[in-house]
């Protein structure tokens, strides 16, 4: 079972990918993890990727796909895998599709965790974090006992830059321009499944499991 997770930033697709990986015994693969592992191990692909990253440039699609194919060729992927954060664009999806086809392979399902922008802005801009112990809260859904203070260690809670409303809206704009077209791409391949990501996490997961079987 080879899966691609789709959804806007903050939709919860990473959480679902982790739960899928655990239930079905397949690895949860993110390109960030692949880059870090290859750079740490000093592989040829890692050195190539690092040369772009050191200059602040994006790693080219072809190289990213080569790194990805190297990762999915490992023994732990023989029963499948969950891709999270890749592909991000139509060109990346096309390169991935072409390279998988060379091995007689294909993506089985693309799971789109659908959450309206308004929900995501409220969800992410309400987050608060303790920089000292790492605990996270939400001003509506998981508030601390004392406003602005961490329950665990008593430190002040902060709103991370990534969670500020303007930043969230910018990330959503980029998502709609670059990544949302993948929904139509995978729909045209008859592998798209969409779930309602506004429901509680366990309900979203149950819905995904009913689709995957």
Could you list the active site residues? Answer: 13, 88, 127, 160, 171
Per-residue CA distances from 98 to 49, 104, 115, 212 (Å): 21, 10, 30, 24
> Which tokens go with 133?
């112990």
> Which tokens go with 191?
């592998």
Per-residue CA distances from 142 to 10, 96, 159 (Å): 16, 39, 14
Which residues does 95 contact at the CB level (< 8 Å), separation at least 6? 61, 62, 65, 87
Q: What are phi and psi of 178, to 5 degrees?
A: -105, -40
* CA 152 distance to own-chain centroid: 28
Exposed / middle / buried, residue 145 (Cβ in 10 Å: 0-12, 13-18, 19+): exposed
Closest CA to 89 of 59, 121, 45: 59
């Amino acid at each position: 079972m080879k899966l691609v997770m789709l959804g806007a930033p903050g939709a919860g697709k990473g959480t679902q990918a982790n739960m899928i990986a655990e239930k079905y015994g397949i690895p949860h693969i993110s390109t960030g993890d692949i880059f870090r592992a290859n750079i740490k191990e000093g592989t040829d692909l890692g050195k190539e990727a690092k040369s772009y990253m050191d200059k602040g440039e994006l790693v080219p699609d072809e190289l990213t796909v080569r790194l990805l194919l190297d990762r999915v060729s490992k023994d732990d992927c023989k029963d499948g895998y969950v891709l999270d954060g890749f592909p991000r664009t139509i060109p990346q999806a096309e390169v991935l599709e072409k390279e998988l086809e060379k091995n007689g392979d294909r993506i089985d399902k693309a799971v789109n965790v659908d959450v309206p922008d308004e929900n995501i802005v409220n969800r992410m801009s309400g987050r608060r974090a303790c920089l000292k112990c790492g605990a996270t809260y939400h001003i509506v859904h998981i508030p601390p006992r004392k406003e602005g203070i961490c329950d665990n260690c008593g430190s002040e809670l902060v709103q991370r830059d990534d969670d500020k409303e303007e930043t969230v809206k910018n990330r959503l704009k980029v998502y709609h321009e670059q990544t949302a077209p993948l929904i139509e791409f995978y729909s045209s391949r008859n592998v798209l499944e969409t779930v309602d990501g506004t429901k509680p996490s366990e309900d979203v997961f149950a819905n995904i499991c009913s689709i995957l079987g």
